[in-house]
């Protein structure tokens, strides 16, 4: 049918740009279900004719949780934008109960508490996330062969194409020291290495194996429970970005170290404003606007004879 032919043209375009097969199939399934809803309701199914009202009908008809419904509509909207250049979803009067996801941040003090209760293996996990900003999948897949002779780490990250993006990143000395300490313990524990050379491993009866995603997440939460800190693997990555920002590192450099393609992702999702710094800014607004004497005789704004005027 015509509606699916148009969708397949868009999916073929994405595939030619290196999108993974699993992503293409995911998009195909979501678009098919959305267009199926419109067909059942007797509405136009040509993506070029879909209106904001149609998007609202799809939202009401999909028997899914809110996050899933929003995700389905976003994918359909991507197709419509590709065809018409019009962002139909932004024109919809849909009130989401959870407009922003719950992003968990931790402070430097909490990170220190996590390090205090950790063993050698756990410290490597925490530092790969907090001191290098690695994602969960990047941490668990990291191998000794990814460490180069000049002290860099080969990171197989997210991205389009087979294997995702590949980046080289300098290893901070404290991270390398933690890896060396853990390696000495790892090599002397007498367990068979079945991990394929992974740095972070889980202990099993047969020997040491590569950690699964869920196992790594559970393990970090367990460390947090021992330290009295609510933490996830990804909150370590947010700590990395926020710490760089508060140390006045240039935003472009932070974006590059985070391996983001869009600086808005870095700003909107990974950097937490400093509440004390914000209070200080507001307390100093008189000085910032130059309407308060700074003590050095500089011109300021003052009230004289019940009127405000510039002083010299």
Residue 52 confidence (pLDDT): 93
Structure tokens belonging to residue 134: 């690695």
Residue 221 confidence (pLDDT): 95
Percent of the chain whose predicted confidence (pLDDT) is above 90: 64
Out of 3.40.470.10, 1.20.1090.10, 3.40.720.10, 1.10.443.10, select the CATH number for domain 108-270: 1.10.443.10
For tokens 């008189």, name the residue: 286
Phi-psi region of 188 (alpha: psi -120 to 50; beta: other; left: phi over 0): alpha
The model's pTM is 0.67
Alpha helices in 188-250 (DSSP H): 213-227, 233-246
Residue 285 confidence (pLDDT): 76
Residue 160 confidence (pLDDT): 46
Residue 311 confidence (pLDDT): 60
Residue 134 confidence (pLDDT): 96
Nearest to 220 by CA among 100, 104, 102: 104
Residues of the chain with pLDDT under 70: 1-3, 98-102, 158-164, 286-287, 289-312
Residue 291 confidence (pLDDT): 58
**Residues 6 or more apart from 77 whose CB is under 8 A from it?**
55, 87, 88, 89
Beta-strand relationship, 300-304 and 307-311: antiparallel
Three-class DSSP category at 171: coil
Three-class DSSP category at 311: strand
């Amino acid at each position: 049918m015509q509606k699916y032919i148009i969708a397949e043209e868009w999916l073929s375009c994405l595939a030619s740009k290196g999108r993974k097969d699993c992503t293409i199939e995911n998009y195909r399934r979501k678009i098919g279900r959305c267009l199926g809803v419109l067909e059942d309701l007797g509405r136009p199914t040509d993506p070029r004719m879909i209106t904001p009202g149609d998007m609202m009908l799809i939202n009401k008809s999909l028997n899914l949780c809110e996050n899933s419904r929003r995700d389905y509509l976003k994918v359909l909207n991507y197709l419509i934008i590709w065809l018409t250049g019009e962002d139909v979803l932004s024109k919809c009067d849909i009130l989401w109960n959870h407009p922003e996801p719950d992003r968990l941040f931790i402070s430097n003090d909490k990170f220190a508490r996590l390090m205090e209760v950790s063993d050698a293996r756990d410290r490597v996990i925490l530092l790969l996330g907090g001191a290098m900003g690695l994602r969960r999948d990047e941490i668990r897949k990291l191998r000794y062969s990814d460490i180069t002779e000049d002290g860099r780490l080969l990171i197989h990250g997210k991205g389009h194409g087979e294997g995702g993006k590949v980046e080289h990143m300098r290893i901070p000395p404290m991270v390398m020291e933690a890896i060396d300490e853990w390696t000495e313990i790892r090599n002397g524990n007498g367990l068979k290495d079945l991990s394929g050379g992974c740095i972070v491993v889980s202990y099993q009866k047969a020997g040491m194996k590569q950690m699964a995603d869920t196992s790594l997440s559970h393990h970090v939460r367990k460390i947090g429970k021992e330290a009295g800190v609510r933490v996830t693997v990804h909150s370590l990555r947010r700590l990395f970005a926020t710490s760089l920002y508060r140390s006045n590192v240039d935003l472009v450099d932070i974006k590059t170290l985070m391996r983001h393609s869009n600086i808005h992702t870095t700003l909107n999702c990974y950097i937490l404003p400093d509440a004390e710094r914000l209070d200080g800014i507001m307390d100093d607004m008189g000085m910032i606007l130059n309407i308060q004497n700074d003590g050095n005789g500089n011109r300021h704004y003052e009230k004289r004879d019940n009127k405000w005027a510039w002083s010299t």
